[in-house]
Chains A and B, each alone.
Chain A
Amino acid sequence: KNEVEQSPQNLTAQEGEFITINCSYSVGISALHWLQQHPGGGIVSLFMLSSGKKKHGRLIATINIQEKHSSLHITASHPRDSAVYICAASGGGADGLTFGKGTHLIIQP
């Protein structure tokens, strides 16, 4: 069974700062997902990656398969980035995702 760990659990930063959220997992995966959850509860998919790096706007996600580690970066952070960021791992087959506990990010103006 995969264990997915995230750090930090909570992060408060000033607007404009570069943000890094880390995720590690215990067994090999087929893909790693980064998701965003807003206070209302809805979950939005940000990235799905199985190797290398992906970029979308100010968000960048990287993964190191050998080290079983992924990072989510936010450049030029903005208060609207405040949310819970969750990483989730998939192990192939038809099973669902194994989620981390999430990182609660607050960006102060």
Chain B
Amino acid sequence: EPEVTQTPSHQVTQMGQEVILRCVPISNHLYFYWYRQILGQKVEFLVSFYNNEISEKSEIFDDQFSVERPDGSNFTLKIRSTKLEDSAMYFCASSAGGGGNTEAFFGQGTRLTVV
């Protein structure tokens, strides 16, 4: 069964460092998303991406965040200068259609710890 793959599963970084979280969406999907879940809190939408550009972003997704689809398979989230409050589980998701009207497939997540 096709699945969304995220690497690494766990990343520890020092405050102020840049991190790149990687995702391989399901191959025939066109819509890609990043979400985050701070420990003990609900999952929050960060950004959606379609046709090689950002479709929508939340107020969380400020200038320190960026997304890229550098080739035909990878979808990355970069955090430029990490802060302690960026510590969270980051989930990548993909779907065949947009608007939340088709099933979303989630990766297993990357646990980011900023120290």
Contacts and interface: CB of A to CB of B under 8 A. Distances in A.
Q: Say whether A and B bind each other.
A: yes
Contacts of B104: 33, 45, 48, 97
Contact of A95 (B44, B56, B102): B56
Contacts of A31: 100-101
Interface in B81-95: 89, 91
A48 B45 CA distance: 18
Contact of A96 (B35, B105, B108): B35
Given A43-B91, A45-B103, A45-B106, A94 B42 contact: no
Interface residues of B, number: 31
B101 A30 contact: yes
A90 interface: yes
B72 interface: no
Nearest to B34: A96
B77 to A, nearest CB: 13
Interface residues of A, number: 29
Contact of B43 (A48, A91, A93, A99): A99
Given A48-B102, A90-B100, A96-B100, A102 B42 contact: yes
Interface in A83-98: 86, 88-98
Contacts of B98: 93-94
B31 A95 contact: no
A90 B99 contact: yes
Contact of B106 (A29, A30, A44, A98): A44
The 6 nearest A-B residue pairs measured at CB? A90-B100, A94-B55, A96-B45, A43-B106, A99-B43, A42-B108
16 contacts: A31-B100, A41-B108, A42-B108, A43-B91, A43-B106, A45-B103, A45-B104, A48-B101, A48-B104, A86-B42, A93-B56, A94-B56, A94-B98, A95-B48, A96-B58, A97-B35
